[in-house]
Copies of this chain bind each other. A is one copy, B any other.
């Protein structure tokens, strides 16, 4: 039985966000994403065919959702559901420590 440690193997130097697929099946895909002071490009929006349930395991982040003026602030332990085609972008992740996301994508 293989154990995955989602808080381990966090690079100290992270020029780009790191995306790792932990599990992929017909039903879903589970990813770990690590950010460290990263944000989406100002004009970039994610527009996904899949729903995304995303949970912060560490760090802090702000998401911008198209059509909403207030940004969504997330800290460790907090999760939101981003429905398919809800356009969104990462507005901010804390520079103080790595932000570790658990993202579950499904249709």
Verify B27–A72 contact, CB threshold 8 A.
no
Residue A13 interfacial (CB < 8 Å):
no
Chain B residues near A3 (CB-CB < 8 A) = 72, 74, 78-80
Prevailing SS type, chain A contact patch: strand
Taken together, the copies of this chain in the complex come to: 2
Q: Does A85 contact B (CB under 8 A)?
A: no
Nearest-neighbour CB distance to chain B for A98, whole angstroms, equals 12
Indicate the size class of the contact surface on chain A.
20 to 34
A76 contacts across to B, CB distance below 8 A: 7
- CB-CB under 8 A from A79, the residues of chain B are 3-6, 22
Residues of B within 8 A of A78 (CB): 3-6
Contacts of A34 in B (CB 8 A): none
Contact B106 A27 (CB under 8 A): yes
